[in-house]
Amino acid sequence: MKSAGILENIRAKRIRVGVIGLGYVGLPLVIRFAEEGFPVTGFDVDPVKIEKLSHGQSYIKHIPSEEIKAIQPKLALTTDMKKLGEVDAILICVPTPLTAHREPDTSYLKKTAQDIQAVLRPGQIVSLESTTYPGTTREIYLVCFQETRLKVGEDYYLVYSPEREDPGNPQFQTKDIPKLVGGITSECTRVGAALYGSVVKQVIPVSSPEIAEASKLLENIYRAVNIALVNELKLLLDRMGIDIWEVIEAAKTKPFGYQPFYPGPGLGGHCIPLDPFYLTWKAREYDFHTSFIELAGEINTSMPYYVVEKTVEGLNQQGRSIKNSRILLVGIAYKKDVDDIRESPAFKILKILRSKQARVDYYDPYVPAVERTRQLPYPIYSVHFSSTVLKKYDAAIIVTNHSCIDYELLRRTLPLIVDTRNVYRRKYKNVVKA
């Protein structure tokens, strides 16, 4: 089908949209297209997710089950990737993790490309949303699809449109966030822009997939570098006896030329801790060393060690050793008021503490249990939050500052609190900033 017919079908909402990967990026897309009246098929390799969604249940805290139930008439769900041939637009939202050596793990991208290639037919739109290095759309997907003998820009349409989700941020919903679209050809861009333009308020076409891929990395690297800057300043100003949080509040009164970033116990989430290393890896192909980005990564990944050091110092001042101390991690999600634990610095802090023979538990109202993950080879469970339980601990480390936690009860009950999020604005004898 030529692009004119596809554009007409998009306007008439006669196309079926398929979303591969029903996580924090894919599920909001499913909801958005279904809300606008498009029939949608959700694809995921996890049968548990498919089962829950088929019963109208959300497994993501900030996405209400009511939103899933509301789109049931428009929603089909499957683990069978052969059914990709039955949809007209394929949106790819698969993980792009790093290997143990901090190099891109492209296995999910390549597997998805092969799954699509096996059923690719004329008239289909394929959009990659996963964050990755510049060149991925062309080098993995276009090369794979060339084996079909279908011509890109004429028989099918291939674009890159990076996800820009911010889980738990009520100010920016999927429909409100501008969407970049870069196609292999100009006709690919036109078709991709029309598809996304039917569900978001603003689409920004760019000249190529590489521009869109690099733009997404720039967005995340910008944040990673600036967070590293304030983390390093935190280390320095701590030695100087200066409160970094008050410094930031003072600096942000300037109405131009400054944007506040905040220190923390380390980076978390699927984007900021990982994405910069996709570019540093690709840069080696061009004999280029990204010193600035890698330095920022080193600073951010060192922060859990600093938090543990401050905990050890605090215990020492109370005449206690870290060995056999009972320590409670408060918040294990990677950010405030979400249940997302991906790359959370809490796991690194837990590992370091246990290596020092501390006895560590956690409390997180958003994460009642953590099953075995790449970060944690054994399951752990949240403790109950009460004065009786809290009295068992020698110290608490506030890793994630969820709004619903009773921090006053925590302060009144424990002899030592290590505050990595500036929860306590006033100075207290039992609170140490880290």
Contacts for 383 with CB less than 8 Å, ≥ 6 apart = 328, 361, 362, 363, 389
The answer on 192 and 78 residing in a single domain is yes
The answer on 164 and 92 residing in a single domain is yes
pLDDT of amino acid 106: 94
38 belongs to a structural domain: yes
pLDDT of amino acid 193: 98
pLDDT of amino acid 386: 96
The answer on 110 and 162 residing in a single domain is yes
The structure tokens listed for 161 are 């449109």
Phi, psi torsion values for 282, nearest 5 degrees: -65, -30
pLDDT of amino acid 304: 97
The structure tokens listed for 370 are 């953590």
Q: What's the mean per-residue pLDDT of the chain?
A: 94
Segments in the chain below pLDDT 50: none
pLDDT of amino acid 99: 82
pLDDT of amino acid 168: 76
The answer on 26 and 131 residing in a single domain is yes
The crossing angle, in degrees rounded to 10, of helices 3-11 and 186-197 is 10
CATH of the domain at 95: 3.40.50.720
pLDDT of amino acid 3: 81
Cα 416 to chain centroid distance, Å, stands at 31
Q: How far apart are the first and last CA of the chain?
A: 59
Instruction: Write the pLDDT tens digit of every residue in 228-254.
Output: 999 999 999 999 999 999 999 999 999
The answer on 356 and 249 residing in a single domain is yes
Per the structure, the count of domains in the chain is 2
* Degrees to nearest 5, angle at CA 374 with 370 and 377: 65
Single out the residue in 207, 223, 239 at which a domain terminates. 207
Single out the residue in 207, 242, 262 at which a domain terminates. 207
Indicate yes or no: pTM above 0.85: yes
Instruction: Write the pLDDT tens digit of every residue in 283-312.
Output: 999 999 999 999 999 999 999 999 999 999
Length in residues, the chain? 434
Contact 103, 31 (CB under 8 A): no
Cα–Cα distance between 414 and 315 in angstroms, integer?
12
354 belongs to a structural domain: yes
For the chain, how big is the Rg over CA atoms in Å?
24
Catalytic residues: 271
Contact 322, 312 (CB under 8 A): yes
pLDDT of amino acid 68: 96
How far lies 362's CA from each of 290, 349, 381, 385, in Å? 37, 11, 7, 10
Phi, psi torsion values for 270, nearest 5 degrees: -85, -15
Question: Strand ranges (DSSP E) for 106-265?
Answer: 125-128, 157-160, 179-183, 203-206
226 belongs to a structural domain: no
pLDDT of amino acid 1: 65
Determine the structural domain holding residue 411 and report its residue range: 231-433
3-state secondary structure 165-204: CCCCCCCCCHHHCCEEEEECCHHHHHHHHHHHHCCCCCEE
